[in-house]
Structure 1
């Protein structure tokens, strides 16, 4: 049994509480937030202990892992304080607001013999496991090219001010517009890509603020980029394009093209997303053939989008019984559980240390739109 503490009880904390039930090896020692009202609301709703201060939380010797769910700007200082207190750290993305901050966190953990892991946990999903099995089994030959989409739709046109978590926390729209969608969301695509294809050797990053007017009440904040695109060259030989934005229609798919076929993962935010497989030597489905014939005869494209290939049946049972509600059907607590299990066995968690640093560096490069880059981090 591993005892954890949550620091930060905002919108995302409810996702962790929902999925904590999937992992009986984890027990919650308590929670803390700098906002007393928010802390009281969260702890009352979930019936969990609320620490009276951050110092009390970090001094709790029963706690092995501090789960850092604070705003990105607070990640570095809290990560450092938790490590100095002798606690392992599981941190929401990124580890710091600069590469140097993220590197300091990882190096401090190494010096102290502690583990620091980075979210998100969708890179450990059932869908990722199935996709990896298909690739390893040679079902599409050698992977060559991947398109990852992290488009969230024009949320600033939606009724985002009314969005609430289970315990009543507001969705932090103003902060997301200010810190940038790339730091918040690119990790969901990057975790999959790095898990499947390894480290990035070089890349090209571009970002832009495409919609500076996010509506009434947002005029006073300094807007970050709401669109980014990265072209990534992996050391394994795969080339990938990752887009991230708050304006284009919602699309969280991943398409992987190999010598012999294609895999399409419909939704990277779904723990058991439909996964489609098509091979170049296989006949297209009857519906696709009829649609193609119709388009050629009529000389126009049908208002439909077909996903090439047939859905693949999952050969294993679901790993999680409880998931967050759509659209975030991710087992958020799985990353913490995997970390705790690895620590207990004396292993190195997958998304820890230098790999977590690599993911943070990539997300920061995309967010800043730095142009051509070669990552400094390796694993």
Structure 2
């Protein structure tokens, strides 16, 4: 299936790194409103350039437009794509406003097209292991989830010097303006929604906790750099999701059930370590040793081994992934969308599910100006 990429910034190189995993996807060409950035990206990857967004839309061979523009441009580019009769794969969020996101989904349905959104990490092999453990009933009925999306104190790092493979600068100032919740909560929300269904309501809090993020940030309007929300799922499960960029890195997920727990160490790792602790099973030796040492010393030991036993993966597949910290198969979502289109089906993370995840991310990010608790209006 022929695809085109619109937006050749920092994240586009992640997609190019994993595109080779899917020989069924053919990249027809790329476009960016910055001519200099477009030339640099196309030359590095040896790609065809479109000279305008209209040229992308007019190409009859392109079936999916991959929208990797800045979040403020997602709505307009996706709308233009659908109006041109093409399917959309959009980076998160689907739009910066819930009503705009709903308009995109409504337009796609009216035109019998698909609009799918990133991230693709909930299509990972780690997700498959965790989902299988749940389906097998290894921890009984899941009751409570702790999800962390802490990216570390990025603003204290040397981010102005960060560059992608093809030379794109990491858009630090723009990331601070958009906020860590809109940028990162989707990595957890996609897992939560796919495993446990739709959310009925949430109670959240968000704030700008570090208004001074160093030289060059004095004159920008900061989005919340911290948010925490408690999500009430229609199934009865409760989840707490925290997003931030000041606390130490932590992208883990812990699912607590009647009979045990499942821990995923890193939601950004396609083959993250996944542990299952069954309450009826003997505890690991390392856990028993640390517990006894605490009792003997009479004080808390901050480091402990992950509860449970690590689940083994099948034989490793031959796929290319970006280097740490984003070891996600970014193109897996596009490939899943292409397969669904060929089968005449809706991709899992498309349409109403995409809208639902977008609403949740927006509600978490904007919690400081929304009445609480927040009643979720979308569903699937």
TM range (shorter): over 0.9
Q: Name the residue aligned to 1:52.
A: 51
Partner of 2:297 in structure 1?
A: 298
Indicate yes or no: 2:323 matched with 1:325: yes
Task: Determine helix, strand or coil for the equivalent of 2:319.
Answer: coil
Match of 1:18 in 2: 17
**Within 2, Cα distance between the matches of 1:276 and 1:195?**
19
Deviation at 1:283, TM superposition (A): 1.9
Indicate whether 1:37 and 2:21 are aligned.
no
How many pairs align?
377
Between the aligned partners of 1:343 and 1:237, the Cα distance in structure 2 is 33
Q: Deviations over 1:68-103 (max 9, x none)?
A: 000000000111011001110000011111110000
Task: Answer yes or no: is 1:236 the counterpart of 2:253.
Answer: no
**Partner in structure 1 of residue 102 of structure 2:** 103
Alpha carbons 1:126, 1:319 under 8 Å: kept = no
Other-structure match for 2:376: 375
Write out aligned runs for 1:112-131 (5 A): 112-131=111-130
Query: Partner residue of 2:255?
Result: 256
Give the distance between the partners of 1:333 and 1:290, measured in 2 at CA: 43
Contact 1:151 1:244 in 2 (8 A): yes
Aligned-residue offset at 1:302: 2.3
Distance 1:254 1:304 in 2: 17
Q: How many angstroms does 1:319 deviate by? A: 5.1
Cα shift readout 1:12-43 (whole Å, capped 9, x = no counterpart): 00000010000111000000000111000000
Which residue does 1:348 correspond to in 2?
346
Please say if residues 6 and 66 of structure 1, whose CA atoms lie closer than 8 Å, have aligned partners that are also in contact: yes
Q: Distance in 2 between matches of 1:64 and 1:166?
A: 27
Corresponding residue SS for 2:28: strand
Asked whether the equivalents of residues 290 and 304 of structure 2 are also in contact (C-alpha less than 8 Å), the reply is: no
**2: distance between equivalents of 1:201 and 1:322?**
38
Q: Structure 1 residue 320: deviation in Å?
A: 5.7
CA drift of 1:318 comes to: 4.0
Q: Gaps (5+ residues) in structure 1?
A: none
CA RMSD of aligned residues (A): 0.9
Retained in 2: the 8 A contact 1:99–1:361? yes
The alignment's TM-score, normalised by the length of structure 1, stands at 0.98
Alpha-carbon distance between aligned partners in 2 of 1:26 and 1:330, rounded to the nearest angstrom = 18
Q: Does 1:338 align with 2:339?
A: no
Larger deviation: 123-132 or 289-298? 289-298
- Contact between 1:226 and 1:246, CA under 8 Å: does it hold in 2? yes
Q: Deviations over 1:225-282 (max 9, x none)?
A: 0001110011112110010000010000000001001000000000010000111112
Moved over 2 A (4+): 316-320
TM-score (norm 2): 0.98
Tell me which residue corresponds to 1:68. Answer: 67
- CA distance 1:361–1:318, shift in 2 (3 Å): farther
Cα shift readout 1:304-362 (whole Å, capped 9, x = no counterpart): 23210111001x34456111111100000000000000000111100000000000000
Contact 2:287 2:304 in 1 (8 A): no
